[in-house]
A = this chain, B = another copy of it.
Amino acid sequence: MVTQYIFIYCSAGGLVAYSESKPYNGLSSVDSSQVEAKKKRVVVLGTGWAGTSFLKDLDCSLYDVQVVSPLNYFAFTPLLPSVTCGTMEARSIVEPIRNILKKKNGDIQFWEAKCVKIDAANKRVHCRSNNSMILKGKDEFVVDYDYLVIAIGARANTFNTPGVMEHCHFLKEIVDAQKIRRSVIDCFERASLPNLTEDERKTALHFVIVGGGPTGVEFAAELHDFVCEDLVEIYPTVKDLVKITVIQSADHILNMFDERISLFAEQKFQRDGTEVKTGQRVISVSDKAITTKAKADGKVSSLPYGMVVWSTGIGIRPVLMDFMQQIGQNNTRAIATDEWLQIEGCDGIYALGDCGTIHQRKIMEDISEIFNVADKDKSGTLTVKEFRDVIEDICVRYPQVEQYLKNKRMRNVVDLLNDSKGNERKKSIELDIEGFKSALSRVDLQTKNLPATAQVAAQQGAYLARCFNHMKASEDNPEGPLKFRELGRHQFQPFRYKHFGQFAPLGGEQTAAELALPGDWISIGRSTQWLWYSVYASKQVSWRTRALVVSDWTRRSVFGRDSSRI
């Protein structure tokens, strides 16, 4: 089930927006619309999971497509922790974005630049090249759009903890992983120098990971394997001084997983000698030590370290923060979109992946309108038959209803209505507006945010590409659910995430996995490691990276990991 990466194309909605390109005096502007006046201009910011998935599935012959990203490659980020210790080479998990684009029919342009400002009023983005030093003044340019797809990902979130930016490593990008790799070796070389005391050596070899999520845990596991399988042989004098500590603010590591997995991971780490400090919040990081405060008793302690990797969640990139201020959003986690991934209040601007969060409309906001639409005979009460006619549209528009039924182990809506009437089971039930409200009153509690994972981002990219591909056809034949506040139907089905499962590699050829839905099926051990290998190999974007990834695993098992500090 997991080895096939099937995207479920739920669809509907998505407003069609169009604006004439406005003349602009000043910075030079990319106005390809003059050439092909009829094609709408789609500008994609970012070449991560969401952006690349969108571009791969988009029918590029329908649009004039431009891509802006400071990185000219796509990186298979789930393998980043493997890059930190040389289990995987960085180049094996990247694919040049131009390689991906050249396979598309249609003329896609790629600009290696950073978006520095989104100007929604004039429908244009301001970009700055990476080569600003050399270009001197010609490094900024402007790109006009009709549709803007923001898929710029997120930055590491320091929660404004002092010293984190200066002294910690992060694990978001390829360069981060490469830096960590060099830094691990640096610590070992430093600890091997002649004029250090035993304590100084121990400090140099104290690796601290802040954050007990999948990334932090996988890095801790990789590092432990690297030390035990490779470094002990070549640094024999210092091998016993290595210590790995994971600091987690919650009570367990991997707390988004089933608790059996959390427990297994904690036990494995204990056997390995990796210390797990739970219920600890980091309050500051200096160049020598990291200071934590216990949540339980408020006790403050200071740990001298050799290297810290900070992996505690994601924050909003500055350019998006600016844009959110422009449009009056003040989320702290990501920019809010509707269920069709369009940013609320911004026609034709979409946010995918880690930089966006779907703001699921609550059913209670529309409850009267739903009742009115459903009550066809305007009798003031809703029969089961009347309710049945609209329930499908309700479930598509408000997926929390389906989730609620599932969690309550109800077979269908009749049970839901019955439930509000005190578990009587009859088909003749009729509800007035108050009864209807009360039947659905607890449904909205099921709404929850999607996790910031590659899986979500990839599905969103594919979903949006499908919407763009069907834009014309669906104008006349809308595919989406009934509109309850207006006439007609939504143009597309809203985005619906299909969870295929999640892996948590724990080192030593042990991997835990949660498959299909959370808690549905968990799997731990060596066989899961092989499942992990096969899933990650099959999910690669090209045959080239697939071959490289497999050859890197082979190389590691034959020759071990390389410890050259390059």
Q: Separation in Å of the A108 CB from the closest CB of chain B?
A: 11
Contact A194 B28 (CB under 8 A): yes
Contact A73 B28 (CB under 8 A): no
- Chain A, residues 54-84, CB within 8 Å of chain B (1/0): the string is 0000000000000000011100000000000
Contact B28 A130 (CB under 8 A): no
Q: Judge whether A496 is part of the interface by a CB distance below 8 angstroms.
A: no
User: In the complex, which residues of chain B have a beta carbon less than 8 angstroms from the beta carbon of A200?
Assistant: 138
Q: Is the interface of A mostly helix, strand, loop or mixed?
A: mixed
Contacts A102-B233, A193-B129 given; indicate if A547 touches B564 (C-beta within 8 A). no
Q: Judge whether A565 is part of the interface by a CB distance below 8 angstroms.
A: yes
- Chain A, residues 132-148, CB within 8 Å of chain B (1/0): the string is 00110010110100000
**Cβ contact of A185, chosen from B72, B110, B233, B562, cutoff 8 A:** B72
User: In the complex, which residues of chain B have a beta carbon less than 8 angstroms from the beta carbon of A28?
Assistant: 194-195
Q: Judge whether A113 is part of the interface by a CB distance below 8 angstroms.
A: yes
Contact B566 A90 (CB under 8 A): yes
Mark out the residues of chain A between 191 and 227 whose CB falls within 8 Å of any chain B CB in the assembled complex. Answer: 192-196, 200
Q: Separation in Å of the A412 CB from the closest CB of chain B?
A: 51
Chain A residues bordering chain B, tally (CB within 8 A) = 59
Contact A130 B566 (CB under 8 A): no
Q: Separation in Å of the A21 CB from the closest CB of chain B?
A: 14
User: In the complex, which residues of chain B have a beta carbon less than 8 angstroms from the beta carbon of A141?
Assistant: 193-195
Q: Judge whether A518 is part of the interface by a CB distance below 8 angstroms.
A: no
Tell me which of A92-100, A354-362, A377-385 binds B.
A92-100
Q: Separation in Å of the A71 CB from the closest CB of chain B?
A: 7
Q: Judge whether A469 is part of the interface by a CB distance below 8 angstroms.
A: no
User: In the complex, which residues of chain B have a beta carbon less than 8 angstroms from the beta carbon of A566?
Assistant: 73, 90-91, 94, 174-175, 178
- Chain A, residues 98-137, CB within 8 Å of chain B (1/0): the string is 1100100000011111000000000000000111001100
User: In the complex, which residues of chain B have a beta carbon less than 8 angstroms from the beta carbon of A563?
Assistant: 72, 96, 98-99
Contact B98 A30 (CB under 8 A): no
User: In the complex, which residues of chain B have a beta carbon less than 8 angstroms from the beta carbon of A99?
Assistant: 234, 563
User: In the complex, which residues of chain B have a beta carbon less than 8 angstroms from the beta carbon of A415?
Assistant: none
Docked pose: A89 CA to B565 CA in angstroms: 14
Most B CB within 10 A of own CB, among A110, A175, A196, A562? A562
Contact B194 A565 (CB under 8 A): no
Docked pose: A112 CA to B190 CA in angstroms: 8
Most B CB within 10 A of own CB, among A134, A193, A235, A558? A193
Contact A96 B234 (CB under 8 A): yes
Contact A73 B194 (CB under 8 A): no
Q: Judge whether A544 is part of the interface by a CB distance below 8 angstroms.
A: yes
Q: Judge whether A272 is part of the interface by a CB distance below 8 angstroms.
A: no
**Cβ contact of A94, chosen from B30, B71, B562, cutoff 8 A:** B562
**Cβ contact of A551, chosen from B109, B129, B131, B551, cutoff 8 A:** B551
Docked pose: A113 CA to B565 CA in angstroms: 13
Q: Separation in Å of the A98 CB from the closest CB of chain B?
A: 4
**Cβ contact of A195, chosen from B130, B138, B192, B564, cutoff 8 A:** B138
Q: Judge whether A539 is part of the interface by a CB distance below 8 angstroms.
A: no
Identify the closest chain B residue to A143 (Cβ). Answer: B194
Q: Judge whether A559 is part of the interface by a CB distance below 8 angstroms.
A: yes
Identify the closest chain B residue to A560 (Cβ). Answer: B544
Contact A130 B189 (CB under 8 A): yes
**Cβ contact of A565, chosen from B72, B192, B235, cutoff 8 A:** B72
Given contacts A129-B189, A130-B186, A543-B559, 8 further A-B contacts (CB under 8 A): A71-B564, A89-B89, A91-B566, A94-B562, A99-B563, A102-B233, A131-B193, A141-B195
